Amino acid sequence: MPLAEALTVDDIQLGTSAFWARPLDERDAAFAALRAKCPVAFHPELEVLEGRPEGPGFWSVTRYEDVRTVSRQPHIFSSSQGITLSDEAPEARDFFGSMIVLDDPRHSRLRLLVQRGFTPKTVAAIDESVRVRARNLVAAAGALGECDFVESFAAPLPLQIICDMLGVPAADEQAVFDWTNVILGAGDPEFGGSFDALFAAAMSMFNYAQALGQDRLDHPRDDLVSTLMQAEVDGDRLSPAEFGSFFILLAVAGNETTRNAISWGMKLLTDHPDQRRAWQSDVDGMTPAAIEEIVRWASPVIHMRRVAMEDTRVGDQEIAAGDKVVMWYWSADRDETVFDDGHAFDLTRSNAKAQVGYEAGGPHFCLGANLARREITMMFQEIFRWLPDLQITTEPDRLLSPFINGIKRMRCQFTPAAVPIAT
């Protein structure tokens, strides 16, 4: 009997770390079983972070249409009490209080202000730096013939681009990178795992960013931070503290997501050489759909959480005001009513664009989606061009997290090449 049919709903406890440590095919089977047998299931919430009180539990929404229903009704399903499984600590609100955890009207006020930094013109200006940075990472690793893929290719690109955008000097890039690892790796013992570690990293990053914002307020330059700090909507401006938490959001959201899309993409291409050959022989034609399929399959952000503001229902399930509701994007992206054989990686899938990896139709749709698409595209194009036989040679060492589908490390091999530096 297939695993999904054998599993009972009680076997599947999404609030436990043990569940998230299981192999991915078991995760797939568990979500398939939930979609089929109990599409809105209640899960007790076990302690995710050391030192935090146990929460009340949460509803798990696993079907594609139900996830979209929740996402598109922000007046009923609020983001303001946190967007991950565990309750947000009040002490951390200042740091993580950016727009992703706000409802309207505060959400749209902040989004209008920061959108200035993501106009087609600003993104076009970053475009060139994405190409140069991707090439230079490939050039730096090119002579090695063997290295860690995450460390040499997938992780540095999004980090460098965010730092370029935010005007972070090269000397501080590593600190920004380490803070984001601690914040999103919360729960994985390798990154500190405790609430104290998370809090300390957030505070350091917030102080760093606030100082940067204040500096650009006092001494504007030709960079994104100055644009953001000087932007005015109806006489309203970003305060340095608001910039501090926006910086944390951008650094975390921009780094840990795109890097995992690139890493999973390379692993999937290694496992599916026929599809890789097809893509490499028609790079321009296949790239747009291929990168959607990578993000669908990887679902780098596994879930987003809301809280019901009134008694309501999702599907046939009644939900009480105050209950936590979790949208499992990972599961929606595999829903068999939308994606044929959703566990399969298929670069020719005609509807990969319907994936909800960046959002599910609500007002919090990913601000950086186009930038992420550009980064993933550039990294694969540069690898295909200069290191065309690059292969992943070890199993991914996965991040232990119910939130980010992360790969911490995995080795790769390729024929060494002298790759010219781009300027």
Query: Which parts of this chain interact with ligand HEM (CB under 6 A)?
Result: 71, 99-100, 111, 158, 162, 249-250, 253-254, 257-258, 261, 295, 300-301, 304, 357-360, 362, 364-368, 371-372
Nearest approach, Cβ of residue 303 and ligand HEM (Å):
9
Nearest approach, Cβ of residue 370 and ligand HEM (Å):
9
Distance CA 156, CA 293 (A): 22
Nearest approach, Cβ of residue 408 and ligand HEM (Å):
17
Nearest approach, Cβ of residue 306 and ligand HEM (Å):
9
Provide φ and ψ at 246, rounded to 5°.
Answer: -65, -40
Distance CA 52, CA 49 (A): 6
Whichever of 250 and 319 has its CB closer to ligand HEM, that residue is: 250
For residue 165, give the nearest of 102, 106, 116, 219 by alpha carbon: 116
Contact of 238 with 250, CB cutoff 8 Å: no
Nearest approach, Cβ of residue 3 and ligand HEM (Å):
27
Nearest approach, Cβ of residue 150 and ligand HEM (Å):
15
DSSP string, 108-159: HHHHHHHHGGGSHHHHHHHHHHHHHHHHHHHHHHHTTSEEEHIIIIITHHHH
Whichever of 47 and 223 has its CB closer to ligand HEM, that residue is: 223
Please state whether beta strands 312-314 and 317-319 pair in parallel, antiparallel, or not at all (unpaired): antiparallel
Q: Which letter does DSSP use for residue 23 in this model?
A: -
Nearest approach, Cβ of residue 214 and ligand HEM (Å):
21
Nearest approach, Cβ of residue 10 and ligand HEM (Å):
29
Whichever of 326 and 392 has its CB closer to ligand HEM, that residue is: 326
Distance CA 320, CA 365 (A): 26
Whichever of 312 and 377 has its CB closer to ligand HEM, that residue is: 377
Nearest approach, Cβ of residue 51 and ligand HEM (Å):
26
Whichever of 13 and 81 has its CB closer to ligand HEM, that residue is: 81
Q: Which two tokens stand for residue 274?
A: 């026929």
Please state whether beta strands 303-308 and 77-78 pair in parallel, antiparallel, or not at all (unpaired): antiparallel
Whichever of 220 and 365 has its CB closer to ligand HEM, that residue is: 365
Nearest approach, Cβ of residue 35 and ligand HEM (Å):
19
Whichever of 144 and 233 has its CB closer to ligand HEM, that residue is: 233
Distance CA 202, CA 182 (A): 9
Q: Which two tokens stand for residue 98?
A: 């950016």
Contact of 107 with 219, CB cutoff 8 Å: no
Q: Which residue is nearest to ligand HEM (CB)?
A: 368
Distance CA 384, CA 266 (A): 11
Q: Which two tokens stand for residue 229?
A: 């700090």
Distance CA 22, CA 66 (A): 25
Provide φ and ψ at 421, rounded to 5°.
Answer: -70, 145
For residue 406, give the nearest of 189, 258, 250 by alpha carbon: 258
Whichever of 113 and 392 has its CB closer to ligand HEM, that residue is: 113
Whichever of 99 and 290 has its CB closer to ligand HEM, that residue is: 99
Whichever of 165 and 197 has its CB closer to ligand HEM, that residue is: 165
Distance CA 240, CA 247 (A): 10
Q: Which letter does DSSP use for residue 422 in this model?
A: P
